[in-house]
A and B are shown apart, each in its own frame.
Chain A
Amino acid sequence: MGQVALRGVSKHFGAVEAVRDFDLEVEDQEFLVLLGPSGCGKSTVLRIIAGLEDPDRGTVVIGDRAVNDVEPKDRDIAMVFQNYALYPHMTVGRNIDFPLKCRGMPKPERAGLVASAAEALGLTTLLDRRPAQLSGGQRQRVALARAIVRRPQVFLMDEPLSNLDAKLRVQTRTELIELQRRLTTTFVYVTHDQIEGMTMADRLAVMNEGALEQVAPPAEVYAHPASLFVARFIGSPPMNTVTGTPARLDGELGIGTSGGQIPLSPAQRQAVEASAATTIAVGMRPERLTIGTTGPLPATVAVVESLGAEHHVICRLTDDQEVIVRIGTDAAVPEEGAAVRLDFGVEHLHLFDATTGDRIGR
């Protein structure tokens, strides 16, 4: 079946380590999104699965066999490229037909498969056109049709939506999810867009500098980021982080920052005591902060950004660190320049070792 596993995979390009000790298991029929900033090595991982790059070390398993020495065409995968990689001299029909033809399938059989792939993606009327005569969205569909026509075990997609305009991207996102459900095939999807990752993935694999930071369902990644990098990468606006040191407040352990003292829950206190961290980054999601007259952190309202459905209030702490607070349109909007206090439930705080970036506690 369509499981994919990477075990201890590393890849260098000259002196650059693109992928480092990479371990990942993708379940059969899973929609796994590899998410990370540009240059984090996510495309390289995808290309290693496809066989377009050979790993320096480690094993790649597709289905139930190691495929390190198997040609890309024999790995039973299909790939959709960022720029679609359609053959410009072939019609849409011939583009879709090409992988079947290369495999020596007889013509009548091929015609049926091409017709059904074209129908599945609404391309039936475009079969005689050339890629140059199609819109971006249509080209994308042709690339998808060329991928599904072979019914491979695994689909690999390298930022397939990045060349579409915003509206079409949202629409295609939904269609891709539906397509995956319909095909019941494993998808490994690479993107740098966290919204794509959050909305499409069964599980997110967040990458940074060639290594995996966290693999979990999107909600879990958002609620319990495993590292400071994930915490800051996922979420829009991003999570606020304030750095401080463990300090006693009225005899109880908290985090002392130059902007104020942050209290902790008993479980968090335990975790901080158990960890060896000397400096701690405290993470606060913008929607978990409230602006009022009470609260542990004094701040000044710097700017209020209104986005229609919500407001982003950018506050400056006494030590000049910026903190973004997200409030709904129903809430009272503070005046710019007003002196306020920021409050939060301690259970919503995220604690990280500021040196290693590791999460402290649950």
Chain B
Amino acid sequence: MSATVDPLPAAPTDRPGPGEVPEPDPGDRHLRRRRRERLLAAALLAPSALVFAVFVFYPFARNIYLSLYSTPPFPNLPSRFVGLSQYSQVLGSHNFLNSLWVTALFVVYTVPAGLLAGLLLALLAHQKLKGIRVFRTVFASPVATSVAVASVIFFTLLNPQVGLFTYWLGQQNQLSVLDNPTWALVAVSVVTVWQNIGLSFILMSAGLQAVPDELLEACEIDGAKGWARLRHVVVPLLSPTIFFAVVVGTILSLQSFGQIDLLTQGGPLQRTNLLVYNIYDQVFNQNNEGRAAVMAIALFFITLVLALVQIRLLERRVTYGN
């Protein structure tokens, strides 16, 4: 090692020496860098911002605009600004309230049932058995089936002449369940539950996989089996997954459309006229964009409030482990 120590680099001086180019001010450099970073950030955000603007922000703004104008009864007449009065008219109407009630029933019929069925199948598929992979694939398969396909399958199964279900129920050559005001919503709910089982099963399976084997073994030694183990250990540990499934399931149910369009078109007697179908009906069958826009905004707020309430309520009871 050399005995002399290299001198430290000299501290920058404020005054430039003779013949030197003045150093840029460090604050100035900082500013320029920040500006450059902002530009980069904007450039990176631009594509998604554009997509959102075209497909979300503009339609949303346009929807609010439409909701304030009453649609004329005949085409080519000017629409008239009516402000919030259209809201009170639509939101108080029998048509809307019926839709709201039907949608609420639909959520109640489909979300808990889909969740329970998914959990049950996930518990079954979690066993260490030979060939269980085949069952896992089968249980998850509804997720790969489109609403249209699912609806057509059930439409055929429920057909009064050739349907297998009608045959089993001994209802051949009678009114289709889908045309029965009492049972139509239940029938549509069954299709939806079947359709949702795939997603629910995958979510619950993933949740179950995350429960450490050691904990289940500790249960076995502590003496908790079957129902006790499920209730005291498995379900609490699954609670974050269940919570997620409830929120997502509710939102999906509120937005259901395809099965209604294909199976019942909102009938019979509007008993399956879910909100989204009603909105569609208002625009494309009744040609009333204004009414549809008001309902769309109502649905938006209902979804928002429900999601917030669920997050508040459920988060308190959710265990997130370590």
Contact = CB atoms under 8 A, between A and B. Distances in A.
A102 interface: yes
Interface in A85-103: 85, 87-89, 98-99, 102-103
B233 A78 contact: no
Given A85-B215, A89-B237, A73 B221 contact: yes
Contacts of A188: none
B138 interface: no
B126 interface: no
A229 interface: no
Contacts of A71: 220, 225
B319 interface: yes
Report, as a range, how many residues of chain A touch the other chain: 20 to 34
Contacts of B215: 85, 87
A3 B218 CA distance: 22
11 contacts: A71-B220, A73-B221, A78-B221, A81-B218, A83-B212, A85-B212, A87-B215, A89-B236, A102-B224, A102-B228, A131-B322
A51 B218 CA distance: 11
Interface in B211-253: 212, 214-215, 217-218, 220-225, 228, 232-233, 236-237, 239
A130 to B, nearest CB: 9
Contacts of A82: 214
B321 interface: yes
A72 interface: yes
Contact of A83 (B214, B224, B236, B319): B214
A96 to B, nearest CB: 10
Given A81-B214, A83-B214, A87-B215, A72 B220 contact: yes
Interface of A: 50-52, 71-73, 77-79, 81-83, 85, 87-89, 98-99, 102-103, 131-132, 146
A103 B222 CA distance: 8
Contact of A87 (B221, B233, B239): B233
Interface of B: 212, 214-215, 217-218, 220-225, 228, 232-233, 236-237, 239, 319, 321-322
Nearest to B232: A98
A81 B322 contact: no
B236 A73 contact: no
A98 B221 contact: no
B218 A85 contact: yes
A71 to B, nearest CB: 8
B297 to A, nearest CB: 40
Contacts of A50: 217, 221
A79 B233 contact: no
A80 to B, nearest CB: 9
> What 9 A-B pairs have minimum CB-CB distances, sorted nearest first?
A89-B319, A73-B223, A102-B223, A99-B222, A85-B218, A85-B214, A88-B321, A89-B236, A132-B322
Given A73-B225, A81-B214, A87-B215, A132 B321 contact: yes
A137 B239 CA distance: 28
A85 B233 CA distance: 12
Nearest to B224: A102
Contact of B221 (A79, A88, A89, A131): A79
Contacts of A77: 221
Given A87-B236, A102-B224, 16 more contacts: A51-B220, A51-B221, A52-B220, A52-B221, A71-B225, A73-B222, A77-B221, A79-B221, A85-B218, A87-B215, A87-B232, A88-B321, A98-B222, A98-B224, A99-B221, A99-B222
Contacts of A81: 214, 217-218
Nearest to B229: A102
B212 A103 contact: no
Contacts of B236: 87, 89
Contacts of A51: 220-221
Contacts of B228: 102
